[in-house]
Amino acid sequence: MAEKKVLNTRILAHGIQKSYDDQMVLRGVDISVAQGQTLAIVGRSGCGKSTLLRCLSALEEPDDGDAFLDGQQYIESGETLFAPWEIRQNIVMVFQDYNLFPNMTGGRNITLALEKTKAISKAEAEQHARSIARKLGIEKALSRYPNTLSGGQAQRLALARAMVLQPKVLLLDEITSALDPETIINVVDAIRDLRSADTTGELTIILVTHLLRFASDFADRIAYMHDGVILEELPARDFFDSCARPETQSFVSAFRRPI
Amino acid sequence: MGYDWDFTVFQEYWAALLRGLWVTIHLSFLSSVIGTIIGFALGIFYRLKPLDRLLLPVNDVLRAIPMLVLMFFFYYFPYLQILGRRPPSAYFSALAALTLAQAVFTADLVRAAVDGVPTKTILGARSLGLREPTIWRYIILPDVTRQILPSLVAFFIGNIKLSSLASVIGVEDVVFVAKVAVGQRFRSLEAWVIVALVYVALVIPLSYLARKLEGSEWLRRRS
């Protein structure tokens, strides 16, 4: 019998609910991602994917639900148990629109949080920045300002800025959605580079994406979200063929059909 | 017909004029700088709820009062009767009035500009685990400064010109010296031409700076 490595659950969420005004966006979401694994969340626009990521990273407070990081509860019945910035030391998010600091060079975009949250020297932070920039192929962006960067470079910079903090969980919120097809490939490659740059093998990623093929290639598991709940979750390689719910099948078939 | 220009009658006033110029410069410079610093603090203070409801109307009232009236207020306030202390000098009264006006105008600009900082930039900062004071210092205030700097330069220019009102309460600035000179030499046109040129010389470099600022790359580094 093949030896099976037991993976610890890194992040676990249960029954996450969130409403805006009278609109219920999350209706009790459960997810569980093991250490070093990647979960891709797919689904139609407006199904609540991004809201879920915001709740997990304490950028929004859910109305109800529990969440645990490495077994430590940090959301209890919708209540955040730590200061939000404490949670975000471990759960870092990257956005569709990069959300870079426009008044700082690429290098400073990377070093600021490193210096402020890890209490390391400026010189050391700059060294880390150069190293991550090299891995992601954006050395030139270090001395430039965000408004002079292409979309692909900007998103790589946003990834570098998040990765250099060595978070336990990286949340990627539709990070390719604002980009043209060629640049998407560029950024997808960057995410792959990130994976291989993670020597500990512990980096856990939850990514929300419209790119089903990338999800099935890159992620370990794919969850299909529909109307505020996760309808089904499957190993990525089985997702296309084994999804059982009609909503999922219809979503998947849209990717197969030529436009 | 024709006017017989004669600037020579003012020869003995040059020294006084230079002293007046110096008063104009530091009166407008000090009030601009101190007022801006206080205004920044006030503008951030006004963001705190429920202070904003209480303080914003006060800010609006103060902004509505003309500069000359503010100067009269600080100069003629019955300090002895109400505060039990000697009244301040005319210079200090004018400085207080100009500083107060600069502060309340800046406060209002800052308050509005904080709302203008793009949410996504702040979210980006939060998502990296930065704490709010750090976000204010490195993200919000630099952006606010970029937003309001052109208006601040316009205020500085306004302060140079408004400082001329201080002569009314007896501050010996350029205008005060000119009034004395006119009273003694009756060469009104020449005197005011000189005064006008002094102000032009003070303001033009700032206008130039403002124009440079408009096109600057630095100012555009906001999303």
A103 vs B131, B134, B142: nearest CB: B142
pLDDT exceeds 70 at position A79: yes
CATH number of B12-220: 1.10.3720.10
> Which residue in chain A is spatially nearest to B218 when comparing CA positions?
A103
Give me the residues of A, 166-225, that contact B with CB < 8 A.
none
B130 vs A85, A99, A147: nearest CB: A85
First to last CA, chain B: 62
B138 vs A88, A95, A112: nearest CB: A112
Q: Cα separation of B128 and A160, whole Å? A: 11
DSSP A160-219: HHHHTT--SEEEEESTTTTS-HHHHHHHHHHHHHHHHH-TTS--EEEEE-S-HHHHHHH-
A96-145 confidence digits (pLDDT tens) = 999 999 999 999 999 999 999 998 999 999 999 999 999 888 999 999 99
How much is the ipTM here?
0.90
A115 touches chain B (CB under 8 A): no
B27-46 confidence digits (pLDDT tens) = 999 999 999 999 999 999 88
Average pLDDT, chain B: 92
Q: List the Cα angle A23/A28/A32 in 5-degree steps.
A: 135
Short-list A123, A190, A183, A124, CA closest to A163: A190
Q: Do A101 and B146 touch (CB under 8 A)?
A: no
Q: Do A88 and B221 touch (CB under 8 A)?
A: no
A168-212 confidence digits (pLDDT tens) = 999 999 888 878 888 888 888 888 888 877 777 888 999 998 888
B50-108 confidence digits (pLDDT tens) = 877 888 899 999 999 999 999 999 999 999 889 988 899 999 999 999 999 999 999 99
Q: What is the pLDDT of residue A2?
A: 47
Residues of A in contact with B144 (CB under 8 A): none
- Number of other CB atoms surrounding residue B111 within 10 Å: 21
- More reliable by pLDDT, A197 or A47: A47
A120 touches chain B (CB under 8 A): no
